[in-house]
């Protein structure tokens, strides 16, 4: 599988356009090159579990759409279910992307939504590495008609970036969505106990799968003396924290889980309606420092 390699200073990244346009690897130079992301040793193995490693853009929606169905514009739209009865993580992670441009430090990718999304349209990613981080932008473009949209990023972070140093995660948000069978009911809950990440606690044995709303400031991950700050555009108002035993995910996104169905019920869940010539454009800059 043909990969794109970007590098600048103390940061290097490997992207796989043909496997969902994913960020397969993100390495930073500490005492030696150190991977931040969980990834198969061979890039060719990444497509076998496209949502279980590396980092990928979620668009034209992030996370789940309940029952793989939603209503918009007076019609009910059905999608392919790929997570039990639900549609998960958008379409970009499962489709090949084309390279629009590339250099040693940056690239632009795009993929068509025709045939997979009832409204048509296309997705664009722009990625650039810096000496101390990486910037990523996702664009969701309408084709012939408006549609509801959301976007986000789903990184799988390693727990052992600094061996013996338990990861700390900070998400400055006061509320999460109440979930039932991993689908929001529409009710909100105040963060408390294990779900309260406002002070950047250690993950330890916390097993979270939570969607936070009205997130303030950057998301922060810390492994001992290594800190990663994830500063996103103002329309990135939500975040998901998922913390299985072997890895953890901190996912900045523009809207909630099942946001289209929440919006149809009158819940302000961050849905953005794109129109021809008026795309959704969201960005996130991940900067790291050590010491």
Q: What is the dihedral of CA 258, 263, 269, 270, to 10 degrees?
A: 100
Name residues whose C-beta falls within 8 Å of residue 266's C-beta, 6 or more positions apart in sequence: none
pLDDT tens profile 99-148: 999 999 999 999 999 999 999 999 999 999 999 999 999 999 999 999 99
Q: Kindly give the confidence (pLDDT) of every residue in the chain, 291 residues in length, as a single tens digit, with 9 standing for 90 and above.
A: 699 999 999 999 999 999 999 999 999 999 999 999 998 776 667 767 778 999 999 999 999 999 999 999 999 999 999 999 999 999 999 999 999 999 999 999 999 999 999 999 999 999 999 999 999 999 999 999 999 999 999 999 999 999 999 999 999 999 999 999 999 999 999 999 999 999 999 999 999 999 999 999 999 999 999 999 999 999 999 999 999 999 999 999 999 999 999 999 999 999 999 999 999 999 999 999 998
Range of the domain at 167: 4-290
Sign of the torsion angle spanned by Cα atoms 83, 168, 231, 50: negative
Model confidence pLDDT, tens digit, residues 18-33: 999 999 999 999 999 9
- Report how many domains make up the chain: 1
Residue 242 burial class via C-beta count within 10 angstroms: exposed 0-12, middle 13-18, buried 19 and up: middle
pTM (two decimals): 0.96
- On the CB side of 35, how many CA atoms lie within 13 Å of its CA? 18
Contact (Cβ atoms closer than 8 angstroms) between residue 262 and residue 66: no
Give 45's DSSP letter. G
- Residue 249: C-alpha distances to residues 133, 201, 277 (Å): 18, 15, 33
Between CA 16 and CA 153, with CA 211 as vertex, the angle to 5 degrees is 15
**Rounded Cα gap, residues 273 and 183, in angstroms:** 21
Q: Which residues of 85-124 are buried (b: 16+ CB within 10 A; e: fewer)?
A: ebbbbbbbbbbebeeeebeeebbbbbbbbeebbbbbbbbb
Task: Provide the CATH number for the domain around residue 164.
Answer: 2.70.98.10
Euclidean distance between the first and final Cα of the chain, in Å? 37
Query: Backbone dihedral region of 84: left (phi > 0), alpha (psi from -120 to 50 degrees) or beta?
Result: left
- Give CA torsion, residues 187, 191, 192, 198, to 10 deg: 170
Tokens 């819940």 belong to 267
Q: For residue 60, say if its preceding peptide bond is cis, omega within 30 degrees of 0.
A: yes
The helix (H) or strand (E) run that includes residue 260 is helix 259-264
Q: Residues for the chain: how many in total?
A: 291
Buried-state track 38-71, b at ≥16 Cβ within 10 A, e below 16: bbbeebeebbeebbebbbbbbbbbbbbbbbbbbe
């Amino acid at each position: 599988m043909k990969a794109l390699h970007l590098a600048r200073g103390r940061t290097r990244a490997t992207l796989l356009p043909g496997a969902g346009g994913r960020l397969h690897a993100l390495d930073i130079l500490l005492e030696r090159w150190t991977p931040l992301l969980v990834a198969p040793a061979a890039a060719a193995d990444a497509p076998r579990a496209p949502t279980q490693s590396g980092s990928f853009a979620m668009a034209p929606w992030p996370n789940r759409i309940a029952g793989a169905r939603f209503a918009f514009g007076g019609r009910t739209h059905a999608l392919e279910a790929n997570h039990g009865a639900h549609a998960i993580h958008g379409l970009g992670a499962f489709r090949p992307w084309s390279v629009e441009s590339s250099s040693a430090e940056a690239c632009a990718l795009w993929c068509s939504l025709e045939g997979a999304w009832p409204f048509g349209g296309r997705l664009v990613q722009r990625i650039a590495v810096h000496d101390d981080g990486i910037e990523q932008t996702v664009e969701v473009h309408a084709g012939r008609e408006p549609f509801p949209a959301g976007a986000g990023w789903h990184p799988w972070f390693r727990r052992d970036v600094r061996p013996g140093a338990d990861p700390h995660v900070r998400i400055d948000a006061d509320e999460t969505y109440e979930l039932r069978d991993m689908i929001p009911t529409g009710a909100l809950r105040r963060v408390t106990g294990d779900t309260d990440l406002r002070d950047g606690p250690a993950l330890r044995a916390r097993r979270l799968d939570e969607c936070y709303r009205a997130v303030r400031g950057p998301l922060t991950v810390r492994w001992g003396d290594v800190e990663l700050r994830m500063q996103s555009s103002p329309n990135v108002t939500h975040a998901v924290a998922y913390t299985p035993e072997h890895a953890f995910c901190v996912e900045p996104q523009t809207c909630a889980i099942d946001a289209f169905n929440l919006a149809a019920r009158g819940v302000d869940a961050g849905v953005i309606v794109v129109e021809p010539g008026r795309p959704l454009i969201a960005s996130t800059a991940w900067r790291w420092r050590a010491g």
